[in-house]
Amino acid sequence: MSSKTFEGNYFEDFKMGQILRHATPRTITTGDVSLYSALYGMRFALQSSDEFARNVGYAGNGGLESAPVDDLLAFHVVFGKTVPDISINAVANLGYADCRFLLPVYPGDTLRAVSTVIGLKENSNGKTGNVYVRTEGVNQLGEPVLEYVRWVMINKRTPSPAESAPEAVLPDLPEAVRLEDLTIPEGLSYVTYESSLAGSDYMWEDYAVGEKISHVDGMTIEAADHMLATRLYQNTAKVHFNLHAMKEGRLGERIVYGGHVISLARALSFNGLSNAQTVLAINAGRHVNPCIAGDTVYAWSEVLDKAEVPGRDDLGALRVRLVALKDRTPEGFPYKTPEGKYDPAVLLDLDIWLLLPRRMA
């Protein structure tokens, strides 16, 4: 076999402080936005309407299109680039933290991604290790548009006795992104916000900490759906695409890219959180169970915290736990057992900061 084929990095290939510049810069277009719409049925007004976006201060790109793309579309595109270098040999995608959206991404922007290794920990079995990377998505002007930390369990090229493992280095990660680290898009003003266009009169003031919201609807995933999405993000992880190989595995099927479930849950959350137009941060995220084609995804939310934005009376931040379920309706809010184990129906446990308009005086 030719050595020109890249088989991805193994645990031993990562070094603390190592910088990985990921391949294939990608220009985002309105074609991507349409596909994102078709894949998830997103209904937030800000990303659906150039008019709505312009009206609340989004400047657009080159004056032509004004609506920013969905925050999670930008996230998936950046994430996708990192897969060949970071997680192609991953056993598990363990978690996300400290993900902050820094600049709106518009059709016409070209994104690339750079990761830095910020933590390494070999596992005691000597077969795998955990790698922590901080990834930055950068636009064509060199401006960071988002950044996040994720950690994955990666196979070692050569399994070795655990006693030989180097000392573990774990990054210091915030439990949640601090308020002062949230970025409100420049120019954004919800003074002229039209809630009738957005689909709901529930503003920031109307949500109470501890409140739970059932998002009612379920969406069944087809194999074509999740593969179209994952290829759109240029994410190459073989577990998503190769039935010939995966049918021999435990699930007998291709595993749905976890980000696909995140976007589905976010789309479902429109019914109950219609005015939560943007995601400011992903504080923490975990894919609790694998998802395959044929699964029906439901979602519910719990308000974890509320925060005023200093100097602003037109908008406020809401910290929400967004939980995705599989083949189980959300009205009972299934989450964890008294012993702290996840209910088997839980697919995703995501902790996010959302930005909402406030009710103007």
Contacts of 185 (CB under 8 A, 6+ apart): 57, 58, 68, 103, 104, 278
Contact between 45 and a copy of itself by CB under 8 A: the answer reads yes
Q: Among residues 49, 123, 189, 289, which is the contact residue for a copy of itself, using CB under 8 A?
A: 49
Scanning residues 50 to 79, which ones bind a copy of itself (CB under 8 A)? 50-52, 65, 67
Q: Among residues 9, 11, 14, 26, which is the contact residue for a copy of itself, using CB under 8 A?
A: 26
Contact between 181 and a copy of itself by CB under 8 A: the answer reads no
Q: Among residues 13, 43, 127, 171, which is the contact residue for a copy of itself, using CB under 8 A?
A: 43
Tally Cβ neighbours within 10 Å of residue 225. 18
Q: Among residues 92, 179, 182, 223, which is the contact residue for a copy of itself, using CB under 8 A?
A: 223
Contacts of 296 (CB under 8 A, 6+ apart): 218, 219, 220, 221, 326, 327
Q: Among residues 14, 44, 58, 106, which is the contact residue for a copy of itself, using CB under 8 A?
A: 44
Give the DSSP letter of residue 292.
Answer: B
DSSP H or E run through 227 = helix 223-232
Scanning residues 262 to 281, which ones bind a copy of itself (CB under 8 A)? 271-274
Choice between 14 and 40, CB closer to a copy of itself:
40
Q: How many residues does the chain have?
A: 361
Q: Among residues 12, 13, 211, 314, which is the contact residue for a copy of itself, using CB under 8 A?
A: 211
Q: What angle do CA 142, 30, 49 make, to 5 degrees?
A: 105
| Cβ(109)–Cβ(162) below 8 Å | no
Choice between 25 and 174, CB closer to a copy of itself:
25
Instruction: Please count the residues of this chain forming the interface with a copy of itself, following the rule CB under 8 A.
Output: 86
Choice between 123 and 236, CB closer to a copy of itself:
236
* Torsion 229-231-237-238 (CA) sign: positive
Scanning residues 95 to 134, which ones bind a copy of itself (CB under 8 A)? 108, 110, 112
Contact between 213 and a copy of itself by CB under 8 A: the answer reads yes
CA distance 272 to 215: 6
